[in-house]
Chains A and B, each alone.
Chain A
Amino acid sequence: MKSAIKFLLAASLFLGLSLAQEVTITYWQYDFAARVDAMSQLIEQFEAENPGIKVVQETFPYDNYQEQVAASLPAGTGPDVVQFFYGWLPTWERSGYIQALPEQYFDTATLDAEFVPMVQAAKLNGAYYGLPTAVRSLALFYNADKLAEAGYDNPPATWDEFLEIAKALTVKRGPRFEQIGYGIAPTGQDHHLLREILTRQFGTAPYSDDGTEVLYDNEAGLEAFKFYTSWVTEHEIGVPEFVPGNSGYRDGYSTQQNIAMIIDGSFAIGGIRNNAEFNWGVAEIPTLDNGVKANFGSFWMNGLSPNAFEDEATLEASAKFLEFVTRPEAMKLWLDVVGEVPARLSLIDDPELASDPVFGPFITSLGYAVATKFVDESAQRDVIVNAINRVVLEGADPAASWSQAAEEDQALLDQYAQ
């Protein structure tokens, strides 16, 4: 009897202690099956390695993800570790939704050396505000069957070849298009293509290095803009909203097979792999005759919300978790499960990965891809989309439309700098 009581005492003491030591942290990301699955596996591994920490993953539909974050943190609930698009960092930081990674857990110089260059966009005023598990870049997806039918064995390497192939694959009957050569998508990835890729290929950086000044309002920038809009107005290789819907250009390419080529991110690989019932291929973004290569890089990063800083135990657990999900092993798992390419330099040097027919073009472009330093991603997106629409939908003068975009964009940069 006595020993039983002793046992109960000891057991309850032990349980009580272990309960006291247990820290629970909350992780948020948007709802996307492969990403949730990958993160669940990482959480399982993390909890096995750190018995005192429990991680709860919560997800929300992409369309109201920011709304959930905006409402929950001021109410004192919500995530400790939160995933967000790097372009949201300035607006999130300004309203206190995200805080700089504490130096005691994350050494800036080490991160600078170990992550691919575009991850610099995860910094504000020299401090990191989060880290990505994976990064993305853009590439040209083509329907190899359609290209072969038209007599092209290889994807286009230059924009001249691109236009030639796209014209050959555009089918118009009466006033309507039945098939288009290129899936025009200003609101998809095309605003990045124009802002970050074509401008550089035509000879101008889009913004000053410190990101405070719009530089594309010059001859080279205008040439880039005219070149892109001429795909619709002059060459007629595509029309906006050809296939209606959220990502119509991708649906038209992968499921309806009435779009021969699209420019899309590595995040599209999974969906295309599942849906496309034809021979498809990926190629690096074409170049002009000058051969200048450019690409737009982007990433979702994991950062720490003010909740993580509430007490030392939570902060330590959150920092440990963030470090865990950005380790090389986590990135490999993410590549396998989600299909997004790793964010660490040591992993993209892998020759096997670089020669992969699908990942190869994305990996190769990581070396020179730039993540635009947005101050207000959604407003800056609208600026470029509207500039394109003024020309292709309303027939406005490209020079005037482009200057207006530069002016509006500069106003946003100035507003942020205030």
Chain B
Amino acid sequence: MQQSLDKSKAGASRISLATREAIWAYIFLAIPLIFFLFLRIWPAIQSFYLSLFSWHVDPAKREFQGLGYYLEMLREPRLHRALLNTLLYTVIIVPAQLALGLGIAMLLNTITRLRSLFRAIYFAPYVTPAAAVAWVWGWMYSVNFGIINTFLIDWSIFWEDRGITWLTIDPQPFLTSPKQALFAVAVVVIWQNLGFQVIIFLAGLQGIPRMYYEAARIDGASSWALFRNITLPLLNPVFVFSLVISTIASLQLFDQVVNINFTDQGGPLNSTLTIALYMYQEAFSRFRLGYAAAVTVLLFSLILIVTLIQLKLTSRRVDY
């Protein structure tokens, strides 16, 4: 008895402490990994499978469609509109968020008093429910009651009274105009998600050692040169992270669009429709889950391709 115990002890000690720690680390890491595989990867594979069949509650009654739904996507004008809108949202929202996020972060980085107050103010919209945000903006954009048009009218009266008519601006239709609605929604998204970008950039800025700036200043570098040659290159990893995250979020845009024009989601005239909303409507208003699954595969591929291109083009290591 005693002997065998000793033997097993000796066996155990043959695994080094480092290896044992690594094994435990792998075990702990495996738990979220299994979770991730089960809740993310497996459904993604399933949705590809579903996209090959017409939908029915009873799996035995699902009819094989082959690539039928993918061919249907080619002829579906509403999907093409959603695709175009989504790309438009992305090219408006992402650059605006990165530029404004970095600009505000740099301003916050230069002040020391009340910094946390300002940071909290900029972050507040990010943690406000999309429904509440959309509701308030819906009223601000209102043609007949909204504060923006009230301002435009008062502004125009002010200049008209002084005879300077070229400064007057007519009240705008905003969300009720198929031409303006997408931009109006994009402004809301930029405003709401800006706080997240600010926090990320601020953390990045604070990670850059002061001594680089001090050394460069002693050498007589201008502020622009400091920004161009120190801030931007050292911020690159943060920049790439922000770019990828905000691009993915824009490609998946759903909440704000759904909430801001609740009675005509994606309207007017499909002008604010996104791929994610289109997919949701096909699945849960029209019960075409097979086709909707094909749309998710499209969205997944789009995000994958765009992200890979972005990573390829933007990530480079910078060391000083």
Residues of A within 8 A of B262 (CB): 245-246
**B142 x A376 contact (CB < 8 A):** no
- Cβ-defined contact, B142 with A244, below 8 A: yes
Partner-binding segment picked from A94-102, A161-169, A361-369 = A94-102
Binds B, one of A34-42, A67-75, A105-113, A320-328: A67-75
**A interface residue count range (under 10 / 10 to 19 / 20 to 34 / 35 or more):** 35 or more
B138 lies within 8 A of chain A by Cβ: yes
Bound complex: CA of A411 vs CA of B289, how far in Å? 20
Binary CB contact string for chain B from 5 to 38 against chain A (1 if under 8 A, 0 otherwise): 0000000000000000000000000000000000
Closest to B136 in A: A244
The answer to whether A378 and B263 have CB atoms under 8 Å apart is no
Give the residues in chain B near A45, CB-CB below 8 Å: none
Contact A393/B287 with A96-B56, A177-B144, A244-B142 known, Cβ cut-off 8 Å: no
Q: Within 8 Å of chain A (Cβ to Cβ): is B90? A: no
A385 interface contact, C-beta 8 A: yes
Q: A66-B284, A176-B144 are in contact. Are A188 and B263 (CB under 8 A)?
A: yes
Contact with B along A365-392 (1 / 0, CB 8 A): 0000000000010110000011001100
Q: How far is the CB of B141 from chain A (nearest CB, A)?
A: 8
Check B58 against A96 for contact (C-beta < 8 Å).
yes
A97 touches B178 (CB 8 A): no
**Measured between alpha carbons, how far is A319 from B273 in the docked complex, in Å?**
42
Q: Which residues of A contact B144 (CB under 8 A)?
A: 176-178, 239, 242
Q: Is B139 an interface residue (CB 8 A)?
A: yes
> CA A242 – CA B263 in complex, angstroms?
13
Asked if A240 is an interface residue, CB under 8 A from chain B, the answer is yes
Candidates B171, B176, B286; contact of A175 at CB < 8 Å: B171
Residue B269 lies at the interface, judged by CB distance under 8 Å to chain A: yes
A247 within 8 A of B: yes
B residues near A94, Cβ cutoff 8 Å: 287
| CB proximity of B248 to chain A, nearest CB, Å | 23
Residues in A whose Cβ lies below 8 Å from that of B267: 187, 385-386, 389
Q: Is B286 within 8 A of A394, CB to CB?
A: no
> In the complex, what residues of A have CB within 8 A of residue B170's CB?
175
* Known contacts A95-B289, A245-B262, A394-B269, A176 near B57 by CB under 8 Å: no
The reply on B55 being an interface residue by CB < 8 A is yes
**B window 247-276: CB within 8 A of A:** 262-264, 267-270
A231 at the interface (CB under 8 A from B): no
In the complex, whether B149 has a CB less than 8 A from a CB of chain A is yes
CA of A239 to CA of B141 in the docked complex: distance in angstroms? 15
**Do residues A176 and B178 form an inter-chain contact, with CB atoms below 8 A?**
no
B284 x A306 contact (CB < 8 A): no
Interfacial chain B residues near A244, Cβ < 8 Å: 135, 138-139, 141-142, 145, 175
CB of B163, distance to nearest CB on chain A (Å): 19
A92 within 8 A of B: yes
Distance between Cα atoms of A306 and B144 in the complex (Å): 49
Q: Which of A97, A176, A187 contacts B143 (CB 8 A)?
A: A176
A306-B57 in contact (CB<8A): yes
In the complex, the chain B residue whose C-beta lies closest to that of A179 is B144
By the criterion CB–CB under 8 Å, are B268 and A393 in contact? yes
Instruction: Tell me, in angstroms, the Cα distance from A241 to B139 when the chains sit together.
Output: 10
Does B281 make an interface contact (CB < 8 A)? Answer: yes
Known: A96-B57, A187-B263, A306-B58. A390 touches B287 (CB 8 A): no
Contact A378 B285 (CB under 8 A): yes
* A97–B281 touching, CB < 8 Å: no
Q: Is A91 an interface residue (CB 8 A)?
A: yes
A97 vs B288: C-alpha distance in the bound complex, in angstroms? 12
Q: Let me know if B187 is at the binding interface, CB within 8 A.
A: no
Q: Is B283 an interface residue (CB 8 A)?
A: yes
Contacting residues, chain A, for B263 (C-beta < 8 A): 185, 187-188, 246-248
Contact call A91/B176, Cβ cutoff below 8 A: no
Given A97-B57, A246-B263: A176 and B286 interface contact (C-beta under 8 Å): no
With A95-B287, A96-B58, A187-B263 in contact, do A389 and B269 touch (Cβ < 8 Å)?
A: yes
Scoring A176, A185, A242 by chain B CB atoms within 10 A of each residue's CB, the highest score goes to: A176
A95-B289, A187-B264, A188-B263 known; A389 vs B178 contact (CB < 8 Å): yes
A113 to chain B, nearest CB (A): 32
Q: Is A291 an interface residue (CB 8 A)?
A: no
B153's partner among A95, A174, A186, A188 (CB-CB below 8 A) is A174
B77 to A, closest residue via Cβ: A408
* Contact of B61 with A by CB under 8 A: yes
Chain A residues within 8 Å of B310, by CB: none
Could you say which residues of chain B place their CB within 8 Å of the CB of A96?
56-58, 61
A94 to B58, CA, bound (A): 11
Asked if B177 CB lies within 8 Å of chain A CBs, one says yes
Instruction: Enumerate chain A residues within 8 angstroms of B177, measured Cβ to Cβ.
Output: 393
Interface contact B178-A70, CB-CB below 8 Å: no
Q: Restricting to B271-303, which residues have a CB under 8 Å from any CB of A?
A: 281, 283-289
Most buried by B among A66, A97, A247, A389: A389
Q: What distance in Å separates the Cβ of B274 from its nearest Cβ neighbour in chain A?
A: 16
Contacts of B270 in A (CB 8 A): 386
Residues of A within 8 Å of B57, CB to CB, are: 73-74, 95-97, 306
Q: Are B285 and A176 in contact (CB under 8 A)?
A: no
B143-156 CB contact bits vs A (8 Å, 1 = yes)? 11100010001000
**List of B residues within 8 angstroms of A187 by Cβ:** 263-264, 267
A162–chain B nearest beta-carbon distance, Å = 22
Residues of A within 8 A of B171 (CB): 175-176
Least CB distance from B2 to A in Å reads: 54
Alpha-carbon separation in the docked complex, A240 to B269 (Å)? 13
Given A379-B286, A386-B269, A393-B269, CB of A95 within 8 Å of CB of B142: no
**Interfacial residues of chain B within 44-90, with CB under 8 A of chain A in the complex:** 55-59, 61
Give Cα A177 to B286, complex, Å.
37
Instruction: Check A389 against B268 for contact (C-beta < 8 Å).
Output: yes
CA distance A389 to B176 in the complex (A): 9
Report the minimum CB–CB distance from A180 to chain B (whole Å): 9
Chain B 122-171 interface residues, beta-carbon cutoff 8 Å to A: 135, 138-139, 141-145, 149, 153, 170-171
* Extra contacts besides A95-B56, A187-B267 (15): CB < 8 Å: A74-B57, A94-B287, A96-B57, A97-B287, A187-B264, A239-B176, A240-B176, A241-B175, A244-B138, A244-B141, A246-B262, A246-B263, A306-B57, A385-B264, A389-B267
- Kindly list the 7 A-B residue pairs having the minimum CB-CB distance in the complex, ordered from nearest: A96-B57, A187-B263, A378-B285, A244-B138, A91-B287, A67-B284, A96-B56
Q: List 11 A-B contacts (CB under 8 A).
A: A64-B284, A70-B289, A74-B59, A95-B289, A240-B176, A242-B144, A244-B135, A244-B145, A247-B263, A306-B58, A385-B267
B interface residues (Cβ-Cβ under 8 A, vs A): 55-59, 61, 135, 138-139, 141-145, 149, 153, 170-171, 173, 175-178, 262-264, 267-270, 281, 283-289
